[in-house]
Structures are given as structure tokens and as C-alpha cells.
Amino acid sequence: MSFAIDLQNIIGRNDATNFSAQLMRLVFKADWRNRAKLRHEYPNLVRMVEEYQTSGKILGLPDD
């Protein structure tokens, strides 16, 4: 499953339990130090969450 779909699922229903969905929840909650550590290992996932937090857009999904 793509990160975009996982992000859309946790924002909408919040019931996805796969690894990337759980990791996204962790990124949402992380302080800047822990987010930097996560960014080192999962740069694309952290970038998606940060883009959503700043612009409200989910990267990788077509614009409606």
C-alpha cells in the first residue's frame, strides 16, 4: 500500500494498523528531535506528513 493511501486512511477513518500507518501516527506526535531521527530512516514518509501538516495536501494523490 502506498504512503498516500495510508495517510488518507489515518486522517479519515484512523483505523489502519499496518506499519507505515502506525509510523505516520508516530511522526504526527514526534517532537523535532525524534522527527529528525525518523526523517533519517524514513525521509519520504516524514516529508508526506510534514506536507500534509503545512498545506493540507497529500503528496502522491491526484488533486480533486
Asked whether residue 64 is domain-assigned, the answer is no
Q: Find out whether 61 and 16 touch, Cβ atoms under 8 Å.
A: no
Tally of domains within the chain: 1
For 1-22, what is each residue's pLDDT tens digit? 488 888 887 877 767 678 888 9
Asked whether residue 62 is domain-assigned, the answer is no
Where are the alpha helices (H) located in 1-64, listed in sequence order? 3-12, 19-29, 32-41, 43-55
For 26-46, what is each residue's pLDDT tens digit? 999 999 999 999 999 999 999
Tell me which residue range forms the domain holding 10: 3-55
